[in-house]
Amino acid sequence: MVYGDLLTRFCSICGKLESPEMPLVDNLCWDCYKARNRMIIVPKDLTMEFCGVCGSYKLHGKWVKPRGVEDPKLSSAMEFVEEYVKLRGSGSLKALEARSIGGGKVSVLVRAHGTVDSRIPVYDEELWVDVNVRSVVCPRCTRVASGYFSSIVQVRAHDRPLTQHELSIVNEIVEKVLSSESDRSGAVLNYRVEAVKGGLDYKFDNFRLARRVADEIHKRLGALIKESHKVIGFDGSKGSRISRLSISVRLPSFSIGDIISLNGRIARYEGFSGGKFLYYDLESGGRGSVNYRDAWHGDVSIEVVCRSHELYSGFVNSITDDDIEIIDSSGRVYRALKPSAFDVEVGSHVKFMVFNGKIIIVSRGK
C-alpha cells in the first residue's frame, strides 16, 4: 500500500486521518474501533449468591470459599466477576478491586490486557462491573444451624479420663486437619466439640474429615479405631441412603509417664511413635517397644502400676551399699532399692513408688 498524496482515508466517526503507523480498521481509527468494540463483555444481570454466615459464594452451582483474605463479600465478587465476565479478542482478564455501592450491589474493577483485533497492538481496558449480591444461607450452614452433623469422632481412654497432654494433642490435630483440608478444598469446614463423660465428641459434617482426625490420633497416640455406620434416612433427590458415621477412638489405659508392668517387667511408658508403644525398662535401663497390634490384640499384657501423677517425690538423704534413703517433703523416710538403670547421688531429687511392698526409684528430677 502506498501512502503519500493519496492520504484521503479518514475515520468515519471522528474524522481522524489515517497514517502509516495507524492504518484504519474497518474504516475506523484505533480509538474509535476500541470504543465501539469492547474487550470486556459483561453478561446481563450478574447475580452472585453469597452466604453471610461462612463467607462462601456459589460458582457454577458449587459453594466455594473465596481465595482472597480480605472482606469475603468483596473477594467473592472479584472472583465471581473474573469467572463470568468474558473477553473478546485475545488476552487476559483480572479483577483489580471491589467496593460496595449500596442496594445489595458490589462494583468490581476489571482490567483486560490484550487486543480486541489482531490488527491493533496490545492495550489495557478497564471497566467497573456491577454485581447483584443475593445474601442467602448456604446449605452447609443451614445443616449446621439445625445441629446436623454427618459424622462423630468419640475420643475416650480405656478405664481413665483423658490427660491434659492428650487433650491438647487431640485439639492440635483437629485444628491442623481442618486448616489443611480447608486450604485444599477452599470450602468451609465446620465442627463442634462436646465434652462428655470420659472424653470428647467431635462432630463434623464431612466423613473424610472425621476419618483423617481419627487416623491422626491413632498415629500420634496409638489409639484403637473402630468405625460404624448408621442409616438415618433416605435422600430422594440422589436416590441414596443417608448414613451417619461414628468413629470410636480409644486411647490405651496408660499415658505418657505412667509406670506399667509389661508381662511382669516394670517400665515407664514413653510415648507412641512409628506404630509402636515405647518404654523405658526400669529394671534393665534399656529402651524397648511393643507393636500396636500386640498391645491391643496380642499376648503382651500391659497393666498400669502407678500413674505419673501418683508418683511420690523426695530427695536422697544417704546412700549405703544396700539401699538408698529418701526423705519426702513431709519428712517421712523411705528406704528404696538401688536403681539398676541409673545412678543417683546424695541430694538429688527423685520420683519413686511403692510396688509389692518395695520402694522403687523411677526417675531423677522433681
- 3-class DSSP state of 102: strand
Q: Which residue in 7, 9, 14, 99 binds Zn ion (CB under 5 A)?
A: 14
Is residue 32 at the binding interface for Zn ion, with CB under 5 A as the rule?
yes
Is residue 133 at the binding interface for Zn ion, with CB under 5 A as the rule?
no
Q: Which stretch binds Zn ion (CB under 5 A): 46-54, 82-90, 147-155, 212-220?
A: 46-54
| Alpha helices per DSSP H over 158-306 | 164-185, 207-221, 292-296
Q: Which of residues 83-122 bind Zn ion (CB under 5 A)?
A: none
Give, rounded to a whole angstrom, the gap between the first and last alpha carbons of the chain: 97
Q: Which stretch binds Zn ion (CB under 5 A): 16-24, 175-183, 292-300, 306-314?
A: 16-24
Q: Which stretch binds Zn ion (CB under 5 A): 29-37, 159-167, 239-247, 264-272?
A: 29-37
Instruction: Check if the beta carbon of residue 152 is closer than 8 Å to that of residue 211.
Output: no
Is residue 53 at the binding interface for Zn ion, with CB under 5 A as the rule?
yes
Q: How many residues bind Zn ion (CB under 5 A)?
A: 11
Task: Give the Cα separation of 113 and 214 in Å (integer).
Answer: 49
Residue 288 cell numbers, joined: 524397648
Q: Which stretch binds Zn ion (CB under 5 A): 52-60, 71-79, 89-97, 194-202?
A: 52-60
Q: Name the minimum Å distance from CB 192 to Zn ion.
A: 15
* Nearer CB in complex with Zn ion: 119/241: 119
Is residue 51 at the binding interface for Zn ion, with CB under 5 A as the rule?
yes
Q: Which stretch binds Zn ion (CB under 5 A): 140-148, 202-210, 227-235, 270-278?
A: 140-148
Task: Give the Cα separation of 326 and 344 in Å (integer).
Answer: 11
Is residue 29 at the binding interface for Zn ion, with CB under 5 A as the rule?
yes
Q: Name the minimum Å distance from CB 11 to Zn ion.
A: 3
* Nearer CB in complex with Zn ion: 28/336: 28
Is residue 17 at the binding interface for Zn ion, with CB under 5 A as the rule?
no
β-pair type (324-328, 333-336): antiparallel
Is residue 25 at the binding interface for Zn ion, with CB under 5 A as the rule?
no
* Nearer CB in complex with Zn ion: 148/355: 148
Instruction: Check if the beta carbon of residue 82 is closer than 8 Å to that of residue 110.
Output: yes
Residue 104 cell numbers, joined: 445489595
Residue 254: beta bridge partners? none
Q: Name the minimum Å distance from CB 140 to Zn ion.
A: 5
Q: Which residue in 78, 141, 157, 360 binds Zn ion (CB under 5 A)?
A: 141
Is residue 24 at the binding interface for Zn ion, with CB under 5 A as the rule?
no
Q: Which residue in 24, 48, 54, 210 binds Zn ion (CB under 5 A)?
A: 54
Task: Give the Cα separation of 49 and 137 in Å (integer).
Answer: 9
Q: Which stretch binds Zn ion (CB under 5 A): 13-21, 171-179, 244-252, 289-297?
A: 13-21
Question: Residue 85 carries which DSSP code?
Answer: -
Residue 82 cell numbers, joined: 473474573
- 3-class DSSP state of 211: helix
For residue 64, count CB atoms less than 10 angstroms from its CB and return exposed for 0-12, middle for 13-18, buried for 19 or more: middle
160-197: buried (b, 16+ CB within 10 Å) or exposed (e) per residue?
bebbeebeebbeebbeebbeebeeeeebbbbbeeeeee
Under the rule (CB under 5 A), what is the footprint of Zn ion?
11, 13-14, 16, 29, 32, 51, 53-54, 138, 141
